[in-house]
Amino acid sequence: MRGRSFQMKWADLNRLRRILIVVSEAGGGVLIERLRLKYLLPLWHRIVGIFSRQPTDARLVRMETAGPIFSPVLLRSVLERLGPTFIKLGQVLSLRADVIGEELAEELSKLQSDATPFPHEETRRIFKEEIGRFPEEVFKSFDVKPVAAASLAQVHRALLSDGTEAAVKIQRPNIRKTIEQDIHIFYYLAGLAERFIPELQNYQPVRVVREFADWTMREIDFRVEGHNAERFAFIFKENPQITIPKIFWDFTTPRILTMEFSHGVKANDLDKIKALGLDRKQLATIGVDALFHQFFISGFFHADPHPGNFFAMPDGRLCLHDFGMVGYLDPATRKELLSCLVCFVNKDIDGFTKHILHMALIDVKSDVGGFQKDVAGILSEFFFSDRRPSVAWAFFRVINRGAQNGIRFPGDLALFGKALVTTESMGLTLQPEFDFNKELEPFVKRAMMKQFSPAKALQSVEADILDYVGFIKELPERMQNVLIKLEKGEIGIKFDTNDLKEIEREFDRQNDLRILGIVLTAVFFGMLGLLYLEGTRTFLGFSLSALVVPLFVVLLAWFLVRLRQGPVR
């Protein structure tokens, strides 16, 4: 998807028109106008739009000096009307408050993936295409009615030949084709937004679409989710309080995922948890500890850890589900995050800001000074007020403030910020007196000890020992080569002459265009004069206009060819 063009294809036109109609009906006409797409609306729609003006508070979007302001409720409604790709886009954006703002992210988090189940015949057809046999030929039993149906897939309960209960997740018919087409349209619209709505350039719509495309295309390959599940199983192999469903690879393909069936209840279903006689405080501790381990020890984490993705098992364990979207924090980022948390505990605003900026993506347009002031304001609100400061919300708001100052953060870091807040929310759901900072403090100390432990240092040395030995072995020879080149005066700046040649060719092309333009203009006016004198002047028996018109056409064609060649690359 990274190489997709921003040019529209005929196959996308009808779909784009339907999208624009829904946006227009919701009061997004001003956005369509700014994107120069009004001509795609049906004529009657444009006529109705002229005479019907919706109140400002009833419009999907209104344009302000800082950019378009969306109505959160109407945007959620529009995304739900437009189908699974748009619902998935909204769900992904709800995790990126750093891009769209906290109010909009909060509303989009309410998007539901519940959908009408597709017919059983389609289930059988897809299963046969992927596995080679029908479900009833593979399983001891296979429930016709799905236990859950979402916008991308539905889940059926089945029994393997040995009696093991399994959950069989089957992708919706033609959903990949629909998603690919919609993503192509997203690229096109994002390109138009960056071109015609400069207020949005700080948010880099094309980059956001690219991230969404990467995540979504991975998510609809169910083998990726299966591998993610196995990686989490490895991470928690020594934690008896966490269980991960086993993947049955013999019945797993890009469109089918077969895993162990879980008999637990969702972690936010407090009545059922009470009926099972489980300790909610203990469940909160287990869940939060598991997430902290993902964030700071393994670096591989569940990107949407809301309570619905955690099942409380009858025996008191927690079962993690839905591994389609994950994040990764490399060791250097984890060290910076730990430093941020230490600074937070010590109420060190300057230190916190310094380590946050170490993880930021900064360019010439970034307002670092403005960002530092915003961070100081956010942290002061937490540090010097009567209420107990929440490191989760502080970090979340600091990350979100970056886009307003032209400072971007890696997508995984933004996902971490959202996951941190969701972790605190899950803890409070299970235990109203849950104290996030108190739970986090011992884990940070443990993570810091692990970072600086002798075992960690030895592991690092073992991993890099061959590099160190090779460098030391080659060092004398490299130093000798440098000294020899210094003596001979061979050290200088390396310059690629091909770059000069390309510049020279481009200058030549530009000069050709100017000369051709002048000649073309002269021939054009000469042709007009000769056409005016048509029949009164001849050359060798031919009308002069009959000679000049072909000359003009040839010169025009040459001019257009040179112009179409574009700049030399």
Question: Following DSSP, what letter does each residue of 145-177 receive, concatenated?
Answer: S-SEEBSSEEEEEEE-TTS-EEEEEEEPTTHHH
pLDDT above 60 for 154 = yes
Please check whether residues 446 and 297 belong to one and the same domain: yes
| Maximum Cα interatomic distance, the chain, rounded to a whole number of Å | 109
Number of structural domains, the chain? 2
Of 350, 314, 129, 321, the C-alpha closest to 226 is 321
Range 171-180 average pLDDT:
92
- 43 pLDDT band, cuts 50/70/90, is confident
Assign 55 a pLDDT band (cuts: 50, 70, 90).
Answer: low
285 and 350 part of one domain: yes
Output the average pLDDT for the chain: 82
End of a domain among 397, 429, 452? 452
514, part of any domain: yes
Q: Which one has a higher pLDDT value, 261 or 558? A: 261
Residues 480 and 549: their CA atoms lie apart, in Å, by 72
Place of tokens 């495309």: 213
Higher pLDDT, 508 or 59: 59
Asked if 549 and 418 sit in the same domain, the reply is no
pLDDT band at 362 (very low <50, low <70, confident <90, very high): confident
406: left (phi over 0), alpha (psi -120 to 50) or beta: left
Minimum mean pLDDT range among 125-129, 181-185, 250-254, 390-394: 390-394
| Residue 114 within any structural domain of the chain | no
- Structure tokens belonging to residue 108: 């989009």
CB 274 within 8 A of CB 350: no
Same domain? 541 vs 433: no
Looking at the structure, do residues 391 and 289 belong to the same domain, yes or no?
Answer: yes
Looking at the domain assignment, is residue 291 inside a domain? yes
Whether residues 422 and 289 share a domain: the answer is yes
The answer on 503 and 441 residing in a single domain is no
Q: Does residue 472 sit within a domain?
A: no
In a domain, 358, yes or no: yes
Residue 418 confidence class, pLDDT cut points 50, 70, 90: confident
pLDDT greater than 70 at residue 91 = yes
Looking at 418, 435, 452, the residue that finishes a domain is 452
362/438 same-domain check: yes
- Is pLDDT of 57 > 90? no
**Residue 197, phi then psi, degrees to nearest 5:** -125, 80
Flag the least confident range among 117-121, 406-410, 465-469.
465-469
**φ and ψ at residue 241, rounded to 5 degrees:** -90, -10
**Structure pTM?**
0.73
- 429 and 281, same structural domain? yes
Describe the crossing of helices 280-293 and 411-430 by its angle, rounded to 10 degrees. 170
What percent of the chain shows pLDDT beyond 90? 31
Q: Is residue 102 part of a domain?
A: no
pLDDT bucket at 132, cuts 50 / 70 / 90: very high
Pick the more confident residue, 3 or 153: 153
Is residue 71 helix, strand or coil? coil
Q: What is the pLDDT of residue 455?
A: 57
Residue-range definition of the domain harbouring residue 330: 277-452
User: Which range has highest mean pLDDT (40-49, 124-133, 365-374, 395-404)?
Assistant: 124-133
CA-based nearest residue to 95, from 427, 430, 390, 420: 420
Q: What is the pLDDT of residue 535?
A: 53
Are residues 427 and 517 located together in one domain of the fold? no
Q: Which tens digit of pLDDT belongs to each residue from 194-231?
A: 888 888 776 778 888 998 888 888 889 999 999 999 99
Higher pLDDT, 195 or 385: 195
Q: How far apart are CA 297 and CA 252, in angstroms?
A: 30
Same domain (yes/no): 423, 559 = no
Q: How far is CA 417 from CA 95, 311, 396, in A?
A: 9, 23, 5
Per-residue model confidence (pLDDT) at position 504: 63
**What would the pLDDT profile of 516-557 be if each residue is shown by its tens digit?**
667 667 766 666 665 655 555 555 555 655 666 676 677 666
Q: Which two tokens stand for residue 207?
A: 């980059």
Q: Is residue 187 part of a domain?
A: no
pLDDT at position 403 over 90:
no
How far is it, in rounded angstroms, from Cα 403 to Cα 360?
Answer: 11
Instruction: Name the percent of the chain in helix, strand, coil, to the closest 5.
Output: 65, 10, 25
pLDDT at 3: 45
- pLDDT surpassing 60 at residue 464: no
Ranking 19-28, 57-66, 352-361 by mean pLDDT, the lowest is 57-66
**Residue 222 is assigned to a structural domain of this protein:** no
Last residue of a domain, one of 452, 468, 487: 452
Q: In this predicted structure, what is the pLDDT of residue 2?
A: 46
Residue-wise pLDDT for 256-281, tens only, equals: 999 999 888 988 889 999 999 999 99
Identify residue 485 by its one-letter amino acid code: K
- Whether the per-residue pLDDT at 476 is higher than 50: the answer is yes
| Predicted local distance difference test score (pLDDT) of residue 447 | 73
pLDDT at position 164? 94
Same-domain status, 444 and 507: no
What's the whole-number mean pLDDT along residues 145-174? 93
